[in-house]
Structure formats: C-alpha cells, structure tokens
Amino acid sequence: MHLKIDGFVHEMNALINDMMFFQIVQAVFVFANSLVLLIGYDLTFVEFIVPLFWLAAFLAEMSIYCFFGNNIIYAFEGIHRGIYTSNFIAFDRKTNEALLKMMMVTSTREMKISAVGVVRFELSFQTLLKILKTTYSIVMVIKSM
C-alpha cells in the first residue's frame, strides 16, 4: 500500500509541480485584486458580484488542492504510525523484513505534494493560510497607498 501512495505522490509531483507554483502565485494576486476592488471602491451590485465570484472560485480551487495534499500527508503519517504501533515482533520473518523496510522508508522522508519554483510550497492547509496572509499583506499595502 505504501508503494502505491509513494508512486502516486511522485507522479503527481512530476505532473503538477510547475503548474501549481504559478497557480499559487496567481491566486495571491487574484485574491489581492478582488479584495482591493471589494474594499476600496463604491461598486454597483453587478460590479461587486464579479470580484466576489473570482475570490470564491480561487479560494475554492486552492482549498481543494490543499485539502487533498493534506490528506496525503495524513495518510502517509497513518501508515507510519500503524507500522510503529503494530505488534510486528509477532509476525513471521518475511513480514518483519517488509515492515522494517517500510519503517526505514517512512522515517527518512516525508510524503508531500509540493509546488517548486523560486520558493517551495507544500500543498497543505498551512500553505492555504500562507496564501491568505500574503494576500492580506498585499491588500493592506495597496490600501495604505
């Protein structure tokens, strides 16, 4: 099972690495632009709805990415905890060797989907919070000008 998760994560990292980095950077600027429009200007109802939908769409998209990235991290940690809490001494020799190999693999590296560009982002709820904090900082700088 751990080899399937490991293969899945490596395949996902290879497929979405660059795209996710630019998606995260773009999300920060779309959030900031939408919030500046919503906060800083007197808008009609129709003009208010468009940035609100942009904000909601990007927030939902980034939340989904970070949710699944977070689930992969927790699934890998669950495998890690399950190995260490099992009664592996009671198993036969072949199973003990397999569990020992899995212990070595799970203790040496973490299983995370990441977006690598200039900065490395791991897809997790912490990254979503970093995006929101950065957006807030940009909006406050723009608003103070």
CB 135 within 8 A of CB 32: yes
What confidence score (pLDDT) does residue 120 get?
67
Beta-carbon contacts of 90 under 8 Å, excluding residues fewer than 6 positions away, are none
Query: Which stretches of the chain are DSSP H helices?
Result: 2-40, 45-85, 93-108, 125-144
Percent of the chain, pLDDT > 70? 85
The token pair at 116 is: 């690598």
Task: Tell me the pLDDT tens digit for each residue of 2-57.
Answer: 667 667 767 777 777 777 778 888 888 888 888 888 887 787 888 888 888 888 88
